[in-house]
Amino acid sequence: MKVTKPVRVMHAANLQLDCPLRSAGALNDDIREIVELATITAFDRIITKCLEKDVDALLITGNSFDASYPSLAAEVALRDGFGRLAERQIPVFLSPGRLDPASAWQEIPRLPENVHLILESDDAPLDLTDHGRLLATLLPVTAETTIEPDELTHLLGDRSDSQGSRPLVIGMLIPDRSFEKRERPRLTTTRFAALDWLACPAGTDADSLPLIDGHVLIQASPQGMSSTETGSHGATLLEVDAQRKTRRTPISAAPVRWETLVQLVDHVNSRDDLLERMIAQLERLPLIEGEEVRIIDWKLDREASDTKGWETEAVAAEIASALTELTDQPDGLRYVHRVRPVDLDLTIIEPAHREVLTEYLLALERRAPTNPAAYSKWIKEARVDEVLKSTRWEDWAEAIPTEQVTQLAQQLGWKWCSSIGKK
């Protein structure tokens, strides 16, 4: 069965306009500004892409804003974006989510006329038209929806033409507010929804959805909201030709990109060697259109038991700082690096010695930082020079960085505890 005319729509979800990105951490002023405006920037870019691609409609499913934290900036962004689309006569079809329930949308003063809300499960179907020609029909769907083909025919009424062609049927998933997901009983019957597309909010449980004839699109956020949402984010361009062949094209929109990378330290010989390897990993990351800031969470890891001094927070912080200095481009792509040190594998240490090592490492962390003058004083009090007949210990105290002493002490404690009882 053919559609009456090719259809092109943009699908976005979980805008969370003016909601803060979680776990971004401490940032310098110019990067902080990009991060604070990230969700609004991403939405503005989606609107721009809708205009560039000359879409027939924009679909937005769930969590456009957080109703529990009223935001004038979020409302202004929505109105500005919808207004830009209205100038080109591009309609917006919008469904609520758990953060922006139907009641919140009903309280918003008059929205632009091109905005059509699908708020309740019993709302009537809405038509998407182009100069009077019917392109698609949109209707509300819940996790408990059953729309058999006969029922769909009844819903569509006289929308099918004399040749039997009918418009594209798009379901807009709305949250079931009758009970929480965790309380939902297991269904014993298979539900069926005679749809071509089902547009879902981010985080939708696919197992809870009705079966459909066509495609399910669970759309992620246009801007990753935390370090768990790595990689590219944006919207999806859906295109259906006259033969109902479909194509999905991801549209990048996020200015802030999260990534999680692991760097092995087993064969790393120095700090510079480690930085080279980490930069090589960064160079292998594909460039994503529109990214302005990369927040990289690094995990130093190893396969052998020797931590080689990479297990301290101080070393990890120093590596993060050096990596930022080498990669951050104030006039280009910005970088924020956060490095997690190598985990101490206590399983390779006999249980009787684990407590000793743990207390030893904690004692080192609690100890106040020591300076070279203190080392010289200890050496003099211990009369080391009299025993060894050498001044090399005094030279050492002046030359070695104090943080390196702590790192070596941690390594020695680890090696000592892991070697007890071994021949």
**Domains of the chain (ranges, CATH numbers):** 7-253 (3.60.21.10), 255-343 (no CATH), 348-423 (no CATH)
Check: CB of residue 372 under 8 Å from CB of residue 402: yes
Which residues are CB-contacts of 143 (< 8 A; sequence separation ≥ 6)?
173, 176, 184, 208, 209, 210
Q: Residue 125 has what pLDDT?
A: 86
Q: Residue 412 has what pLDDT?
A: 72
Q: Residue 1 has what pLDDT?
A: 45
Q: Residue 345 has what pLDDT?
A: 62
Structure tokens that stand for 82 in this block: 């919808």
The pLDDT tens digits of the residues spanning 269-298 come to 899 999 999 999 999 999 999 999 999 999
pLDDT beneath 50: ranges in the chain: 1-2, 178-189, 423
Q: What b/e string do you get for 321-332 counting C-beta neighbours within 10 Å, with b at 16 or more?
A: ebbbeebbeeee
- Residue holding tokens 């101080």? 314
First to last CA, the chain: 78
3-class DSSP assignment, residue 339: strand
Q: Residue 147 has what pLDDT?
A: 65
Q: Residue 179 has what pLDDT?
A: 36
Q: Residue 164 has what pLDDT?
A: 53
Check: CB of residue 291 under 8 Å from CB of residue 254: yes
Check: CB of residue 312 under 8 Å from CB of residue 410: yes
Q: Residue 233 has what pLDDT?
A: 96
Q: Residue 186 has what pLDDT?
A: 46
**296: closest CA among 227, 229, 232?**
227
Q: Residue 60 has what pLDDT?
A: 97
- Residue holding tokens 């370090």? 227
Which residues are CB-contacts of 8 (< 8 A; sequence separation ≥ 6)?
53, 54, 55, 56, 237, 238, 239, 240
Burial of 187 (0-12, 13-18, 19+ CB in 10 A): exposed
The pLDDT tens digits of the residues spanning 370-399 come to 666 666 676 677 766 665 555 555 555 555
Which residues are CB-contacts of 51 (< 8 A; sequence separation ≥ 6)?
84, 85, 88, 90
